[in-house]
Amino acid sequence: MAGVGEAASILTLAIFAFDISKKLYEAVSSFESRRTDILEVQNSLTSLASVLDLVRQQIQDSGDERKYEPLRQPMQCCKSTCEDMQNMLDACTQHTNDVHASVRDWLKMQFHGKSFADMKQRLASYKSTLSIAFASINIQDHRATQESLTEMKGLIKGTKEDLNDQVEKVEEAIHDAAESLQDRLRADSAQLKGALQTLAQAQQVASTTRPQIVVKQNRAGKDSRAIFGTDVLQSPFDLRVSGNVAEERATMAAGVHSSESLQALLRASGKPEVVLVMQTLQGQLRRPDTDMPQDGTSRSELITAKEQHARTI
């Protein structure tokens, strides 16, 4: 497995990267150090191993490795960073059994022009890039909520800023570095820029994906009105309605409704059992797996639902 590289299958790379991150985590944990820097690395490695394990399982279950090719670059970055950190650690421990001295030396060590702090930051940024790329693949297969899209965009923005700072730092270091280190630093810069390209692809997915709400298996009782949708012409979400039942003389409506249509439906009802699930649905984008509240109102609070219950899943 030591020769795993760019030509390896995406599944093989995921397995190898997981094994390396786990091995490094176990080595770092053996120090039993409570130093902040060590704990932060442990947390990053724990998170990275969890993501890589999910990636491995999902690739195996899907049987379609090509779909996960966007993960290759960030996984390769995570793998190489873990390898470098392991090499640094080995260099600090091979001549001594003094744990405290080994940790102290590791934190102070320079490796291929990078410090421990550089490595730690690189690991966190690459792990975040991998998580974002993985989420961008999954968000296209599952119903996205407004909350998940907003969270993804925030993670992209923060990780992009971190990577840009690191690119700038490496580019400055290249000019001052010894000739023997310049090629290595250029390779680091290329990896960082590759991670930024991965983020750009994820940003495109986040920007073009519309959140969805599914309203199904509701029942409009006799002589009642049930209205699902929005009174905003350019709705920020997609509404899917299925399996709903309207009883005798009941009316169900779903979609974008004009003010005139709403007023007509309300006047025609003559009863209080009208469910007007309008702008409330937009709040439901943040809680996609819970039932709608029994009291739902439109933006203009035209009416309060008394008996009907809208279920969203």
pLDDT in tens, 5-59: 556 899 999 999 999 999 999 988 888 888 888 899 999 999 999 999 999 999 9
Is 67 within 8 Å of 140 (Cβ atoms)? no
Can you tell me the distance from the alpha carbon of 298 to that of 293, in angstroms, rounded to the nearest whole number? 13
Is 28 within 8 Å of 88 (Cβ atoms)? no
The residues of the chain scoring below 50 in pLDDT are 1-2, 272-313
Identify the pLDDT of residue 278. 42
Identify the pLDDT of residue 6. 59
Residue with tokens 């971190």: 162
Identify the pLDDT of residue 101. 78
Residue with tokens 């992009």: 160
pTM over 0.85: no
> From the CB of residue 16, how many other CB atoms can be counted at a distance below 10 Å?
20
Identify the pLDDT of residue 214. 65
Joined together, the tokens standing for residue 3 give 């020769």
Identify the pLDDT of residue 135. 93
Length of the chain (residues): 313
Identify the pLDDT of residue 287. 40
Residue with tokens 């709400």: 213
For residue 259, give the nearest of 273, 278, 274, 272 by alpha carbon.
Answer: 278
Identify the pLDDT of residue 145. 75
For residue 144, give the nearest of 204, 211, 202 by alpha carbon.
Answer: 211
Domain extents in the chain: 10-208, 212-284
> From the CB of residue 59, how many other CB atoms can be counted at a distance below 10 Å?
21
